Amino acid sequence: MVGQMLLAEFYSFL
Amino acid sequence: MFEARLIQGGLLKKLLESVKELVTDANFDCSESGIALQAMDNSHVALVSLLLRSEGFDPYRCDRGFSLGVNLNSLNKILKCAGNDDIITLRADDNSADSLSLSFENPNNDRIGEYELKLMDIDQEHLSIPETDYDATIIMPSAEFQRICRDLTVVSESVTIDVSKDTIKFTAEGELGSGNIKLKSTSSIDKPEESVNIELGQDVSLQFSLKYLMNFTKGTPLSEQVILCLSEKMPLLVEYKMDIGYIRYYLAPKIGD
């Protein structure tokens, strides 16, 4: 299975 | 007081075309250094970040920080009223301004259109994106990247991008079959904008949604070249550089269990 990652899994919210 | 006069008004029209599919509402953050925008798409998978440096405007005036909340579809509709060669001036009176003034002067300066766009309060989440040393950086013709995304969309919703020493390979596999396109690094001294340049620290293989990449290629008219930056298990950066700034798109990868 291939899942779509979210940006927040890599970058933090300011 | 915020005032920014852009001689190449057509650039602003192209910029709006390149973000409006991805983002509906966004804040234009205006400061002494220029105009910046950062916004994620609704699904929080992709992000657009653009910068227009103050030196690109003549004149540019911004006494203090302004955040102008704009519905990009509405702004795009108004900008369609400007001619491609028009000079575009943006104005807002103070920080509580509830509208953005736009004026469009034709090159002969004998036709001036004036419009007001209502502003809105937008509570937007910002991401902190650190400067990154990517494993692979590819500079290639932007039209070629657009064609590859368009062609592979026929086959699948996703594309795998593999970068090795002197080759970048785009692969799609779907129900009807499969397809791949390999580009070798080339250098053309006469036409550097047509060459494919690969800078590689280590091999990379990543999978991305073609729907988002297709949206990113709306930036193609802004630059003859596109820069792709990839690192294993990290978001892809797609950048179009302009004389007065840049537009950057980030896309989170698809990752297997």
Judged on CB neighbours under 10 Å (0-12, 13-18, 19+), B220 is: buried
**pLDDT at residue B125 in the model:** 85
**pLDDT at residue A14 in the model:** 85
pLDDT in tens, B224-249: 999 999 999 999 999 999 999 999 99
| Contact status of B158 with chain A (Cβ, < 8 Å) | yes
pLDDT band at B97 (very low <50, low <70, confident <90, very high): confident
Q: Is the pLDDT of residue B222 over 70?
A: yes
Residue B166 DSSP code? T
Q: Is the pLDDT of residue B20 over 70?
A: yes
Identify which of B70, B102, B76, B107 has the alpha carbon closest to the alpha carbon of residue B89: B102
Percent of chain B with pLDDT over 90: 89
Distance of CA A4 to the CA centre of its chain: 8
- The rounded mean pLDDT for chain B is 95
Q: Is the pLDDT of residue B183 over 90?
A: yes
Nearest-by-Cβ selection for A11 from B127, B256, B257: B127
**pLDDT at residue B96 in the model:** 63
Nearest-by-Cβ selection for A2 from B47, B129, B207: B207
Q: Do B50 and B39 touch, CB atoms closer than 8 A? A: no
Which two structure tokens, joined as six digits, stand for B211?
A: 């729907």
pLDDT band at B158 (very low <50, low <70, confident <90, very high): very high
**pLDDT at residue B15 in the model:** 96
Q: What integer is the mean pLDDT of B150-162? A: 98
Check A10 against B235: CB less than 8 A apart.
yes
**Chains A and B: how many Cβ contacts under 8 Å?**
55
Residue B210 host element (H or E):
helix B210-216
pLDDT in tens, B48-89: 999 999 999 999 999 888 899 999 999 999 999 999 999 999
Q: What integer is the mean pLDDT of A7-14? A: 93
Q: How far is A1 from chain B (nearest CA, A)?
A: 6
Block residue for tokens 């970048």: B168
**pLDDT at residue B142 in the model:** 98
Q: What integer is the mean pLDDT of B191-203? A: 92
**pLDDT at residue B95 in the model:** 57
Check B209 against A5: CB less than 8 A apart.
no
Euclidean distance between CA atoms B48 and B28, whole angstroms: 12
Identify which of B3, B7, B72, B10 has the alpha carbon closest to the alpha carbon of residue B35: B3
Euclidean distance between CA atoms B122 and B85, whole angstroms: 31
Q: Is the pLDDT of residue B111 over 80?
A: yes
**pLDDT at residue B191 in the model:** 82
